[in-house]
Amino acid sequence: MDDSQANSTHGQIAFPSKQFLCRVCLTALFATAAHLLPWEGLRFFTSEVTLRLSGLLGMTTSRTAFDTIEIQGNLIQFVVCCTFVELFFGSLPLIWRGKESIVGNLLRVVIFAGAIFGLNIVRLVLLQIAYGHGVPWTLAHDIPVGFAYFAVWVFIWRTRDWPAWQYRSRTCHAVTPLAANES
Partner 1 sequence: MVAKLITRMCNSAALVGSVLVFHSWVWSQSGATHAVAVRAKGGGGGGWTALATFMVLVGLWSFVARWSSRKKVEA
- Of residues 103 and 179, the one with the C-beta less far from partner 1: 179
CB of 93 to partner 1, least distance (A): 9
Single residue of 27, 46, 47, 120 touching partner 1 by CB under 8 A: 27
C-beta of residue 163 within 8 angstroms of C-beta of residue 177: yes
C-beta of residue 164 within 8 angstroms of C-beta of residue 23: no
The answer to whether 19 contacts partner 1 (rule: CB under 8 A) is no
Single residue of 39, 61, 83, 94 touching partner 1 by CB under 8 A: 94
DSSP labels, the chain: --HHHHHHHTTEEEEE-HHHHHHHHHHHHHHHHHHHS--HHHHHHHHHHHHHHHHHTT--EEEEETTEEEETTEEEE--GGGGTHHHHHHHHHHH--TTS-HHHHHHHHHHHHHHHHHHHHHHHHHHHHHHHTT--HIIIIIHHHHHHHHHHHHHHHHH--S--EEEEETTT--EE---S---
- Of residues 8 and 101, the one with the C-beta less far from partner 1: 8
- Of residues 87 and 178, the one with the C-beta less far from partner 1: 87
The answer to whether 75 contacts partner 1 (rule: CB under 8 A) is yes
Single residue of 42, 51, 87, 178 touching partner 1 by CB under 8 A: 87
Single residue of 10, 11, 21, 118 touching partner 1 by CB under 8 A: 21
Distance CA 181, CA 183 (A): 6
CB of 135 to partner 1, least distance (A): 13
The candidate with the shortest Cα–Cα distance to 81, out of 49, 132, 37, is: 37
- Of residues 56 and 153, the one with the C-beta less far from partner 1: 153
120-149 positions binding partner 1, by CB under 8 A: 137-138, 141-143, 145-147, 149
- Kindly list the residues in this chain that would bind partner 1 in the complex (CB under 8 A): 1-2, 4-5, 8, 14, 16, 20-21, 24, 27-28, 30-32, 35, 68, 74-77, 79-82, 86-87, 90-91, 94, 137-138, 141-143, 145-147, 149-150, 152-154, 156-157, 164
